[in-house]
Chains A and B, each alone.
Chain A
Amino acid sequence: MSSNIRPSGVFDTTYSDDIALNRTRGEKAVSYGIVALLLLIPLLSLEGPFGISLVPQSLVGTIIRIAILVISVQGLNILTGYTGQVSLGHAAFMAVGAYSGAYLARQFGFSFWLALPTSALFTGVIGLLFGLPSLRVKGFYLSMATLAAQFIIPWTLRYPLEHISNGSRPLDVPVPDLFGINFGADGAMYYIVIPLAMALSLAARNISRTRTGRAMISIRDNDLAAELLGINVFSYKLQAFFVSAVYAGIAGCLMAFHTNNISLEFFAPQVSIELLAMLIIGGAGFPLGPMFGVAFVILLTQNVIPALVPSLYSALPSLLPFLAPVNVFAALNPLLFGLALMIFLIVEPRGLAYRWEILKISWKIRPFSY
């Protein structure tokens, strides 16, 4: 890995240097530069204080959506990427976060700032509950158990808790508000979501490189050896389920307050699959995996595929004359997404983050290939 290869002439003289995330001045500059750039973006859009239109307004909304999903996929990365417990119920945990946040705000007049941590913790507890089967089952069978969460939670919200969730109809969520500043506008919401996504990503990174994270990775790589070498496997699996659900809860709650209008369709089973696909495309078990994966999939599904569909649609009658094009139009989107996922699984199953590591290494050792 790249941590093994240093720029020429850089030597670590202390262990704290060796474990630092940014080891050289250049790395530090790049990290802070990216943070500064991200924080600048809404200021440069039309709605910003300068009123200049350097950045299209739609980009701000896209980045918020990406950031919310990054938080969710970071949680999934802790559970699936580090601890190795494949979860097919992540979207359901987002639903718990979204609906509990909305309920607290609507029913008890909780402010956004109180509703967010409360709903996150509540989602964590629900996650813990669905993590219990991991004591007895693992691998494929555990995925099936998490799939149960994906069916039980939305069903419970839709029918027994209809008075909370508004059933299959959309539910309005109040606009968050801080010291009189209304956060409804994309620009303002941006400054809640982006710093939170950064902080939570950093937290996930830190967890992965300290005691708890190593215990989780041990369980993924060899649960038997981990148990025999003093790690309480079940306890760490539960912790992973808890923290992963907390991340999902935060993402769900942010989504509710950002869109101000939620519906159970946002948390359907295929969303869980998509979240998992994002993680795999980005690189499961890599700190940068969620960022790469979410950004790639959002760009693919919202920009690239919509651009391809019309031309493909018009070319269909000549390509596959036995198909009535009307029947396949709706299927083209998921079809292309599935194709992209399949190509990824074959060409680079370790994901974009792994490619990125390779790229960094080859850049450092240029012009030699070894």
Chain B
Amino acid sequence: MSSVKLHIDDVSLSFGGIKALQHISFDVREGEIVSVIGPNGAGKTSLINSINGFYKPQSGRILFGGRDITKLPPYKRAQLGISRTFQNIALYTNMTALDNLMAARHLHMKSNMLTGALFIGPAQREEIEHRVIVEEIIEFLEMEAIRKSIVGTLSYGLRKRVELGRALALEPELLLLDEPMAGMNQEEKEDMARFILDIHEQRRTTILLIEHDVGLVMDISNHVVALDFGQKIAEGPPAEISQNEAVIRAYLGQENG
């Protein structure tokens, strides 16, 4: 069994009277694809936002690679190797796709205001060095044709893809994907699923995925966590979860009679 990459330990989060997460605990092992499923408002995005540092849980701990990150600000968590995409695309709208990816190389680059202002020398060398890495991702995600398009002008599906590229450019150890296939047609969904599997296979990235398409989730994940009303209702391998009564009830409603 591989080691635990992310350990969620009894995490609770509430906004005023709304209990978004109640005593959630589970593990994500290194190299796994773990999916979080649940109906709307179950707390899936709140969970990712807590792992990411955007929300601060009132109790519980989050351990990443054995280190307690519960109190770290978001950008420090990114430095440790946590990267993400957003449910409602959050790209840098006025930049080109290429610049969006280059911006995500921030953590791996060193140049500062002074060397940048001079450009010739270290800054230029660094630009080229990281451009090579970014171009690999562009090729991997098949977005050569749009590299210099302003992302605000791209279609929804392509923007989702640029966002995935941006998350990858961070070279994360843990990738949080918040509904990467929401609002896509079947073809786009399959493309995205293929990319996710390729990332997992070629880069050995640990992935935590939120997705509504249960069929797809069952196909690609190693482990599934089901949430409902902020509580964990089930956890296990996909085959088990698809038979789980609590999950079926949460998705389809209580049978009357």
Contacts and interface: CB of A to CB of B under 8 A. Distances in A.
Interface of A: 1, 3-4, 15-16, 18-19, 203-204, 206-207, 209-215, 217-218, 220-222, 224-233, 239, 243, 285
B103 interface: yes
Contacts of A221: 91-95
B166 interface: yes
A210 B94 contact: no
Contacts of A227: 54, 73-75
B223 to A, nearest CB: 24
Interface string B143-170: 0000011100000000000000011001
A285 B95 contact: no
Contacts of B96: 1, 3-4
Given A15-B128, A206-B123, A228 B149 contact: no
B128 A230 contact: no
Contacts of B90: 222, 224-225
Given A19-B128, A207-B116, A224 B92 contact: no
Contacts of A206: 116-119, 123
A293 B126 CA distance: 33
Given A217-B92, A231-B75, A210 B116 contact: yes
Categorize the interface residue count of chain B: 35 or more
A217 B103 contact: yes
Interface of B: 52-54, 73-75, 78-79, 83-84, 86, 90-96, 99, 102-107, 109-113, 115-119, 123-124, 126-128, 131-132, 135, 148-150, 166-167, 170
B166 to A, nearest CB: 7
A208 B95 CA distance: 12
Given A16-B128, A206-B116, 19 more contacts: A3-B96, A4-B149, A19-B128, A211-B105, A211-B106, A214-B102, A217-B94, A217-B99, A222-B90, A222-B91, A225-B90, A225-B92, A228-B52, A228-B54, A229-B84, A230-B104, A230-B107, A230-B170, A285-B94
6 contacts: A4-B149, A19-B128, A210-B116, A218-B92, A218-B95, A230-B78
A218 B103 contact: yes
A209 B84 CA distance: 24
B104 A15 contact: no
B106 A3 contact: no
B167 to A, nearest CB: 8
Contact of B111 (A19, A212, A229, A230): A212
Contacts of B93: 221-222
B25 to A, nearest CB: 23
A230 B78 CA distance: 5
A228 B113 contact: no
A15 B99 CA distance: 14
A4 B150 CA distance: 10
A292 B211 CA distance: 48
Given A215-B106, A217-B92, A228 B78 contact: yes
A214 B103 contact: yes
A65 B120 CA distance: 30
Which of A16, A209, A228 has the largest count of B CB atoms less than 10 A from its CB? A228
A230 B79 contact: yes
Nearest to A5: B148
A212 B150 contact: no
A210 B129 CA distance: 13
A210 B84 contact: no
A138 B131 CA distance: 32
Nearest to B113: A212
Contacts of A204: 117
B106 A222 contact: no
Contacts of B149: 4
